[in-house]
Amino acid sequence: MEQEQKRDQKTVDPAAQAAIDIACELGCELVWDRLKAQKTQCAFGLQGLCCRHCAMGPCRIDPKGKGAQTGICGATAETIAARHFVRMIAAGTAAHSDHGRAVAETFIAAAKGEAPGYGIKDEMKLLRLAMDLGVEIGERSIRDIAVDVGERLLADFGSQHGPLAFVKRAPLKRRQLWKELGMTPRGIDREVAEALHRTTMGVDQQIENLMIHGSRCALADGWGGSMIATELQDTMFGTPVPLLGRVNLGNLAKEEVNIIIHGHEPLLAEAIVLVSREKGILDYAKSKGARGVNLTGICCTANEVLMRHGIAVAGNFLHQELALVTGAVEAMVLDVQCTMQSLAKVASCFHTKLITTNERAMIPGATHIQFHETDAVESAGKIVRAAIDNFPNRKGSPNIPAFSTDMVAGFSVETIGYMLGGSFRAGFRPLNDNIINGRIRGVAGVVGCNTPKLTQDQYHLDMVKHLIKNGVLVLTTGCAAMAFAKEGLLLPEAAAKFCSPGLAEVCETVGIPPVLHLGACVDNSRILMAATAVVKEGGLGDDLSDLPAAGAAPEWMSEKAIAIGQYFVASGVFVVFGGSFPTLGSKEFSDLLMKKYREITGGYWAFEPDAIKAADLMIAHIDERRRALGLDKKKERVLYDMEMRRQLAT
């Protein structure tokens, strides 16, 4: 009974619950209602056992062994599940990488002076990138260097033979392994196209072979498209440094024009931040009876402007409809990814204007105002003015749940290095030392979405509280980061309250929270870079798979999460997913991912619906890595006699 009640509970967030109650009173349909309307979901689809890759189908495999055991073409359960999984990786890689491409194109235009409103904010990062990429610095201007850096990275999308530029950042041993396995990504678009080719009817029907390419495609995301997005965004808009932010629906303002930016690409959001602070815009808002313009965000666009400007976050994925239900939102401005089509219907119950801005992502019922990167300020101004014009259309007084929590965000890899080592000797030595001495047991990346199939944020919170209680430092991105922020886990004070004594001591000494917010979904590439920095710092093995580290996406829903999971697995990391897993209908394919991959790349998958058990799996993996590194034994103190000292000196 208690279990059932728990399952029925939609959220653990009181702000979300208040908004759900309002929607209920108003008869406004939400994501949970639509989930219910789906009734029992297709068991074949859930387990990866249906295929509609050709017109002989759709075909499905009976997991109980009674009905059909192959598709009409003869494809087995294994092949069907593997092809589906690889297509999810390809879609996720395409999404992150198309984002990266848009950023690279704007970066080049900005460097050439063809995109007024954008520039190069972090020149140091640009120079570091130039050195990494072999771009000449000499006496050249920042602009010329930036054009070459942008062109070099843009070339990775269409490259045919690779390797991608950032692959060489990975530890040597990992690169050699990728080479031996044939997993080194050659070109971002090439890997996505080949994934679609191989998974079409009658092509690759051998699951190990399919997953070699699935891994190569995922690596083109993590060490390619996503990393390009992160690095160029930092260079253009500034590398994040820790700052104070706030999260939850209480950040909507009763008497101001509320604009919510939602999606993933920060190109428009950066321009909106700029424009919404202009005096002319504020005066315009006042002329319409508002006190000002209040900008907040949802999903990863929110993370981007939080990390660089401290813009408040209205909520994570499942908050997108709830924010509109408050009746306080003049405009929700969408770019790309994770924006539900239902927003148009919810917005129509209120005065809210739903504005799409990207030609790649339109929604019936929304107003489309195309954003032009080459005319960013003017374009953003049009959008902000449209929101202000909507303020007088508010129907009655808004109903804003008064919940807001403070947080510290903005932990780029550079910042973590400075915080640990100081500006002059930035580095990961103190982190490595504290892992070696056991104050920090290990590191976990806990990232990803929400899904209405699970109580919003519950799994995230249960897992992470268990991890930090057991001495595991957590790195986070995406909507997971917002779940932790709402609970106060992104505050330094959380260390004393929730952590093991060792982890609390380290956090208090350095002044960091036990859960570090590294940014948006594309910024999972920062976790790859941080892990690589730890390996290079020394003392914890010579490959990513040696580290006492693990990853998780407890409440995942997007194909992007599968791409991220696989690039971590292919990079040597153990990854646990909650909720559901799209391969369980095929034991053989699931075994490949969850058992055999351990021998192939050192990384492997697990699926665990229970948050505490999942966290324990991560801890068990971390302990196993510690044992392999010899960190489980207390080092015996050796008293050196004169002879031993002499030997040391020679």
Which residues of the chain form contacts with ligand SF4 (CB under 6 A)?
51-54, 56-59, 71-73, 75, 80, 201
Long-range contacts of 645-650 (CB under 8 A, 24+ apart): none
Q: How far is the CB of 78 from ligand SF4 (least distance, A)?
A: 12
Q: How far is the CB of 526 from ligand MSK (least distance, A)?
A: 14
338 binds, among ligand MSK, ligand SF4, none (CB under 5 to 8 A by kind): ligand MSK
Residue 46 CA: distances (Å) to CA of 136, 213, 221, 310: 51, 23, 25, 39
Nearer to ligand MSK, 408 or 479 (CB): 479
521 binds ligand MSK (CB under 6 A): yes
Which 8-state DSSP code applies to residue 459? H
Residue of 157, 223, 284, 317 that binds ligand MSK (CB under 6 A): 317
The answer to whether residues 478 and 586 touch, using CB atoms and an 8 Å cutoff, is no
Nearer to ligand SF4, 53 or 465 (CB): 53
Residue of 526, 560, 621, 625 that binds ligand MSK (CB under 6 A): 560
Nearer to ligand SF4, 133 or 201 (CB): 201
575 binds ligand MSK (CB under 6 A): no
Half-sphere exposure of 598 (CA within 13 A, CB side): 12
Nearer to ligand MSK, 78 or 335 (CB): 335
Q: Which residue has the tokens 């980061």?
A: 481
Q: How far is the CB of 555 from ligand MSK (least distance, A)?
A: 9
> Rounded to an integer, what distance in angstroms lies between the CA atom of residue 107 and that of residue 105?
5
527 binds ligand MSK (CB under 6 A): no
Nearer to ligand MSK, 135 or 322 (CB): 322
> Rounded to an integer, what distance in angstroms lies between the CA atom of residue 447 and that of residue 246?
19
> Rounded to an integer, what distance in angstroms lies between the CA atom of residue 377 and that of residue 368?
17
Residue 600 CA: distances (Å) to CA of 211, 364, 460, 593, 605: 11, 46, 29, 10, 12
Closest by Cα among 56, 117, 478 to 273: 117
Nearer to ligand SF4, 74 or 365 (CB): 74
72 binds, among ligand MSK, ligand SF4, none (CB under 5 to 8 A by kind): ligand SF4
Look at residue 64 and give its three-state secondary structure. coil
Q: How far is the CB of 75 from ligand SF4 (least distance, A)?
A: 4
Q: How far is the CB of 76 from ligand SF4 (least distance, A)?
A: 9
521 binds, among ligand SF4, ligand MSK, none (CB under 5 to 8 A by kind): ligand MSK
Residue 274: how many other CB atoms lie within 10 Å: 18
Residues in 230-289 at the binding interface with ligand MSK, rule: CB under 6 A? 264
Q: How far is the CB of 302 from ligand MSK (least distance, A)?
A: 8
Q: How far is the CB of 589 from ligand SF4 (least distance, A)?
A: 14
Residue of 285, 449, 463, 619 that binds ligand MSK (CB under 6 A): 449
DSSP sequence for 351-369: SPEEEE-BTTB--TTSEE-
Q: How far is the CB of 206 from ligand MSK (least distance, A)?
A: 30
Q: What is the Cα 28 distance to its own chain's centre? A: 30
Q: How far is the CB of 305 from ligand MSK (least distance, A)?
A: 13
Nearer to ligand MSK, 95 or 631 (CB): 95
Residue 444 CA: distances (Å) to CA of 181, 266, 471, 647: 26, 26, 10, 41
Q: How far is the CB of 450 from ligand MSK (least distance, A)?
A: 7
Residue of 129, 300, 593, 594 that binds ligand MSK (CB under 6 A): 300
At 86, give phi and psi (nearest 5°).
-65, -35
Look at residue 551 and give its three-state secondary structure. strand
Residue 105: how many other CB atoms lie within 10 Å: 18
Q: Which residues of 520-551 are buried (b: 16+ CB within 10 A; e: fewer)?
A: bbbbbbbbbbbbbbbbebeebbebbbbbbbbb
> Rounded to an integer, what distance in angstroms lies between the CA atom of residue 295 and that of residue 291?
13
478 binds, among ligand MSK, ligand SF4, none (CB under 5 to 8 A by kind): ligand MSK
Nearer to ligand SF4, 70 or 348 (CB): 70
Nearer to ligand MSK, 91 or 436 (CB): 91
Nearer to ligand MSK, 478 or 578 (CB): 478
422 binds, among ligand MSK, ligand SF4, none (CB under 5 to 8 A by kind): none
The answer to whether residues 485 and 313 touch, using CB atoms and an 8 Å cutoff, is yes
Residues in 337-396 at the binding interface with ligand MSK, rule: CB under 6 A? 338
Q: Which two tokens stand for residue 571?
A: 């990079």
299 binds ligand MSK (CB under 6 A): yes
Nearer to ligand MSK, 231 or 555 (CB): 555
**Contacts with ligand MSK, residue ranges (CB under 6 A):** 264, 299-300, 317, 338, 448-449, 478-479, 520-521, 558, 560
